[in-house]
Structure 1
Amino acid sequence: VMAAMLGWVGQVMVWTILLMFVLANMGVNITALVASLGVGGVAVALAAQTMISDLFASASIGLDKPFEVGQFIAFGNDLGTVDYVGIKTTRIRSLSGEQLIISNTNLLNQLIRNYGRMSERRVVFGFRVPYGTKRERVEAIPARVRTIIEQQQQVRFDRGHLASFGEYGLEFEFVYFVLNSDFTFYRDVQQRINLAIMALLEEFDVEFAVPVRHVRLAAEGMEGLPAVQPPFRPDQNRVN
């Protein structure tokens, strides 16, 4: 980016000097021309302030390097792979395939998440089992799930616990790190863990707890309530 920008500035300066020499040889008053250009330059600068802002933003990207071509980034509600960083705009290839074009100034004014520089990914997941599950099986679940996680490649186990007594069951929470920034690799690891947990609960003859509400109806004290009358219908008072 910096090389392209410096090359562009150099070309403008060379062509400007050549133009001044040509005009001077043609008898044009260069002093008056420069003075008039000074007044016009103010108007041009006001009109081109957005482009100048993008130019400085491009220089900032080149010097600070918050991201580089080929890296996967997220900004605002969008994400994708950086295709090209230009003097005015940056082009990003989204997951759905289209190219997103955003001015460098607008891009740098947002929070940018650079997944291309992620060294490891922290994963938090959980599941719940019914309250009727036997205590010895509840105690065994954290250790067995830890073994499942530690058997995966490029994974570092962090912690696993019976986290809380939830509204719908006993809730477990597990945390581990994937030592690979590739998203597909992480999803493959999580899928293998999920399938192994399903097999573990089948072995324990335990089902996953799902949201269920139980409603109890009490019949006590209803004897003294008045009988419910049927709704009035106009045809009941019809005279034949």
Structure 2
Amino acid sequence: MDFSFLNNDLESWAIAVAVLLGATLAMHWLRRLALHKMQTLSRRTETMADDLVAKMLRKTYLLIMLTVSAYLASLALDLTDKQRLVVSRVAIAALILQLAIWGDTLLRAWRDYAYVSDTPRKASRTILCFLMRLALWVIAFLMVLDNFGFNITTLVASLGIGGIAVALAVQNILGDLFASLSIMLDKPFEIGDFIIVGDVLGSVEHIGLKTTRLRGLGGEQVIFANSDLLKSRIHNHKRMETRRVAFVLRVAYGASDRQLARIPVLIREVVDAESMAAFERAHFFNYGEWSLNFEVVYHFQSPDYIAHMDTQQAILLEIYRRFEREGIRFAHPLSIVRMAEGQELPAPQAVGAAGSAFRH
């Protein structure tokens, strides 16, 4: 007796079942082989890529493999257009679901890695991961609905209008939230950095979803809204690799030309003696009202402010000692008044009141 089911004989069904079992076993075997290779590789390397692939393979489900195998098996059967459409739509929906599961696995692995490697920013990473996972599953859901023939245009329009209404209602909160995400991704500063924002100086203590907190020089805590912070000009001193130092030495009038020519050489010797200082220049650059002015520039090869001040102090002290040995005098503000012959000096209290020194 001939056997027939859904217009297909026993031989066709036997071939379809063989394809179903063979394809499922082949995909299951390939999954296990790839998973074994990735696990072996992950034990020998420190990169995240092989670990992520291994996690994705563990989230490949047998039911989805059976669904795809069923579609391949249906190719061996004589089905109506409606039946073939249903089988293909179910298979496509299964593939979309598997892709969404893999994407969700990647996002959660990235979030878990953030807890270990970037603890200060884990709150921002958590909310970013949540938003990305929400967007992923919404897109997957809409694709599945569209695959089964539903008209999603109205649904998408409704979601868009609702999203705009919610965004307008909480725009200040969302502004700070997205500013936090911007800080996390762009990293203009990190926990522990010393920054200057306007007239506020301090070290970054906390970067939250809505606010960033600085510890000011006076010990007070300064709190900025993240959106306001990103609108400001930020000076990050932690990332300063070198520090340019410039100062002026004022030498008293009366120094000889030999002493003036000796000063730049003397300053170079003093700066070069410091291991962290790189001499740039020292020049006699102008005649002041009461001094001969030398401009000195060097670069300190570290962002450490305390080390910079220690080096500058050592340089200035050594310049003072060398000037003492060379007989070079530093200038100080001085007014010289020449009296006409026969004119008397003013009374002492007048001199004190005027605040000037008089010399004949």
Q: TM-score range by the shorter chain?
A: 0.7 to 0.9
CA offsets 1:63-103 (integer angstroms, 9 cap, x no match)? 11111111111110011111111111101112222211100
2:190 equivalent to 1:87: no
CA offsets 1:9-29 (integer angstroms, 9 cap, x no match)? 48999xxxxxxxxxxxxxxxx
Moved more, 3-12 or 79-88: 3-12
**Structure 2 length-normalised TM:** 0.51
What residue is the counterpart of 1:51 in the other structure?
173
The alpha-carbon deviation at position 3 of structure 1 amounts to 1.2
What residue is the counterpart of 1:73 in the other structure?
195
What residue is the counterpart of 1:180 in the other structure?
302
The alpha-carbon deviation at position 62 of structure 1 amounts to 1.1
Q: Which of the pair is proportionally richer in strand?
A: 1
What is the CA–CA distance in structure 2 between the aligned matches of 1:60 and 1:41, rounded to whole Å?
A: 21
2:222 equivalent to 1:107: no
2:245 equivalent to 1:123: yes
- Give the paired residue count: 197
- When residues 178 and 40 of structure 1 are mapped into structure 2, their CA distance, relative to the original with a 3 A threshold, is closer
AA in 2 matched with 1:184:
I
- Secondary structure at the aligned position of 1:58 is classed as helix
Aligned positions of 1:16-27 closer than 5 A? none
Q: Which of the pair is proportionally richer in helix?
A: 2
What is the CA–CA distance in structure 2 between the aligned matches of 1:4 and 1:135, rounded to whole Å?
A: 70
CA offsets 1:151-172 (integer angstroms, 9 cap, x no match)? 0022111111111111111101
Q: Which one has a bigger Cα radius of gyration? A: 2
AA in 1 matched with 2:219:
G
What is the CA–CA distance in structure 2 between the aligned matches of 1:39 and 1:198, rounded to whole Å?
A: 73
Identity %, equivalent residues: 41
- Secondary structure at the aligned position of 1:144 is classed as helix
- Secondary structure at the aligned position of 2:286 is classed as strand
RMSD: 2.5
Q: In the alignment, is the contact (CA less than 8 A) between 2:128 and 2:181 conserved in 1?
A: no
AA in 1 matched with 2:208:
G
Q: Structure 2: which 5+ runs fail to align?
A: 1-120, 136-157, 343-360
Deviating beyond 6 angstroms after TM superposition, the runs of 4 or more aligned structure 1 residues are: 10-13, 38-41
1:139 corresponds, among 239, 261, 265, to: 261
Q: Structure 1: which 5+ runs fail to align?
A: 14-34, 221-240
AA in 2 matched with 1:91:
R
